[in-house]
């Protein structure tokens, strides 16, 4: 009887360890940025839009209380109009890891959202030129890439290459 309960406990522990590691890798924290989070619910794919301009600088943002920091940039649309563009959790990609740089002229697809008392643009894709795009969400429904399984992400990346 004791051996059976030990075996069941060990099996339960193994299942918990395996399930808690999928799809995230060790060290990645996307708290608050998850697929069904309050923040992600702000992404309304029916309201898709695009904006363009020059990247002024990358910044770190924490859109809502309890969220881990995220990567964003300030976009100069011209005429003095600046927009804060939210990209992703920093643990998914930092400004340096996006392949984008200050001064790049970009076109951003995504949605407008009111986060607290600020209107921001939540990006799905940032296109730098005809050769390069940094994608963080499915444009069609806003599914964040960091919430996908490794297989889903590999398939999405293969389709865009």
What are the sequence ranges of the domains in the chain? 26-149
Strand 118-127, strand 81-89: pairing: parallel
Range 94-123 average pLDDT = 96
For the entire predicted model, the pTM comes to 0.81
Section 85-95 average pLDDT: 97
Is pLDDT larger for residue 156 or for residue 142? 142
Mean pLDDT confidence for 77-86:
94
Topology annotation, domain 26-149: OB fold (Dihydrolipoamide Acetyltransferase, E2P) (2.40.50)
What's the pLDDT tens digit per position in 25-65? 445 899 999 999 999 999 999 999 999 999 999 999 999 99
pLDDT at 144: 96
Question: What residues contact 71, with CB distance under 8 A and at least 6 apart?
Answer: 58, 60, 61, 87, 88, 89, 90, 92, 93, 94, 95, 98
């Amino acid at each position: 009887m004791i051996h059976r309960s030990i075996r069941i406990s060990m099996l339960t522990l193994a299942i918990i360890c395996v399930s808690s590691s999928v799809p995230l890798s060790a060290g990645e924290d996307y708290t608050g940025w998850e697929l069904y989070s309050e923040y992600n619910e702000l992404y309304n794919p029916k309201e898709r839009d695009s904006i363009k301009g020059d990247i002024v600088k990358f910044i770190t943002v924490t859109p809502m209380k309890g969220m881990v920091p995220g990567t964003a940039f300030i976009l100069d649309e011209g005429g003095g109009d600046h927009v804060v563009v939210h990209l992703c959790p920093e643990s998914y990609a930092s400004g340096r890891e996006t392949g984008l740089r200050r001064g790049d002229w970009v076109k951003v697809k995504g949605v407008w959202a009111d986060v607290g008392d600020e209107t921001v643009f939540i990006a799905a894709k940032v296109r730098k030129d005809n050769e390069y795009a940094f994608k963080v969400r499915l444009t069609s429904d806003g599914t964040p890439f960091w919430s996908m399984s490794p297989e889903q992400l590999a398939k999405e990346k293969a389709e865009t290459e």
